[in-house]
Amino acid sequence: MSTNSANSLAGQWIGENDGDPEGTMVMDLDSIDGIAKGVLYLYPKGDDLPSSLAPIEAEDFLTKFDISCTPIHFIADNGYIPNWSELSDRFPGVRLPQVVDGIFTPIDAGTINLSWKTEIGTGGSARLIRSVAATNSRVIANNQVKTWAEFQAFVTDKPNLGWVFRGQSQPWPLMTSFHRTNRRDLRRYFHEDLKRLHNALSARTKHLFNLENPIELGAFFNLAQHHGFPTPLLDWTRSPFVAAFFAYKDTNPNQKEPIRIYAFNRTLYQQKYHQLTHLNLVKPHFSNLETLAIENERAIPQQGVLNLTNLEDIERFIQNLQEADGQTYLHAFDLPAYEAKKAIGDLRLMGITKASMFPGIESICEELRDLNFS
């Protein structure tokens, strides 16, 4: 799904540090006027050290480069950046570096070897692998449910408690609208793009959103996403039939590709894994996000719920967890596109229409146009 050139340095790179300290390394780089800019993160194993970041700026081309900078230390659970006094209190007796030097050596289009060291003797090496969402979804569809009627029967017969659903007009991989723009640096997104949007919308919304509050940040994201602004959110619905509506509503019935409905066991996943509510300065995650429907009347009829992530390749992340613990959190159903008219007709009888999903004059007119003039 990424449109970066194979020779571009920009993108998301992930690997494990072999050294002191051990931990996960993530490099998120955007391409800006021929320069790859962003951040390299180190998330140590355990809780006895803070996480660290180093700013990266290099030619946006896969060639050897080096850095020398002052790292910033932060708390990965909540993205907080303590001052040196707070760091000393929280990590007593721990000496933290103030200078880091690194050498990045590309091996091929998808691999970079990193070696690094600090003035206090810590350092290591890592093989950073380019994280790219697959062109086609990695999730194999349920082969027992292949028609609209079979899907209706399947979701009606089984209790849906704990499950959420997502409808797509084709079986594309799960990917946020932010990552589909070919951007990766969420720190830049938070401090630049989100700030501009907040300033612009504050003149039009009755509620002044507090972006430091995770619940209000989620509500602001939800509002922005529903009006077309790229966000690091993946939206779902608690209703399999609402998901089917979004899959079928703009589908070309003559297309060869099936529509796809994903099902995610949100409750089981949350019971197993710690959920993070922050966007910036947090370890790689895919987290359930609870929000309020502030200034967003669409969220209630759509029965919407959200996931927040800083990962491009969501499906690989979830599949790795599934393989590790033997659970299956993510399922998929592929249904024929040619059944669109039948499905939309059945959904209309349930009260699921453009007018009900998108309250407003425009959607009412579109619904009546489709009903009476198509």
Here the CATH number for the domain that contains residue 32 is 2.40.128
| Co-location of 88 and 163 in the same domain | no
Has residue 50 been placed in a domain?
yes
Q: Rounded to whole angstroms, how far apart are CA atoms 349 and 357?
A: 14
Question: Tokens 């209309």 label which residue?
Answer: 348
164 — phi, psi (to 5°)?
Answer: -130, 160
Helical pair 148-157 and 340-349, crossing angle rounded to 10 deg: 40
Residues 181 and 113 in one domain: no
| Each residue's pLDDT expressed in tens, for the chain with a length of 374 residues | 444 677 999 999 999 999 999 999 999 999 999 999 999 999 999 889 999 999 999 999 999 999 999 999 999 988 889 999 999 999 999 999 999 999 999 999 999 999 999 999 999 999 999 999 888 899 999 999 999 999 999 999 877 778 999 999 999 999 999 999 999 999 999 999 988 988 888 877 877 888 777 778 878 888 888 788 999 999 999 999 999 999 999 899 999 999 999 999 999 999 999 998 887 889 999 999 876 655 455 555 556 788 999 999 999 999 999 999 999 999 999 999 999 999 999 999 999 988 887 766 565 666 666 766 76
Question: Tokens for 229?
Answer: 């602004």
Maximum C-alpha span of the chain: 75
Helical packing angle, 340-349 and 240-248, nearest 10°: 140
Domain boundary among 106, 131, 156: 131
**For the chain, what is the domain count?**
2
Considering the domain architecture, whether residues 167 and 303 belong to the same structural domain is answered as: yes
Contact by Cβ (8 Å): 39, 56 = yes
**Residues 311 and 178 grouped into a single domain:** yes
Bond preceding residue 82 cis, omega within 30 of 0:
no
- Measured CA to CA in angstroms, residue 331 lies from 81, 206, 240, 314 at distances of 38, 39, 12, 13
Q: Is residue 244 part of a domain?
A: yes
Output the pLDDT for position 102.
97
CB-based contact 282:77 (threshold 8 Å):
yes
Choose the final residue of a domain: 88, 103, 131. Answer: 131
Same domain, 82 and 118: yes
Give the number of other CB atoms < 10 A from CB of residue 291.
Answer: 23
Structural domain harbouring 34: 11-131
Q: Is 9 exposed, middle or buried (0-12, 13-18, 19+ CB in 10 A)?
A: buried
pTM, two decimals, is: 0.88
**Same-domain check for residues 84 and 207:** no
Residue 373 identity (one-letter amino acid): F
Domain assignment present for residue 85? The answer is yes
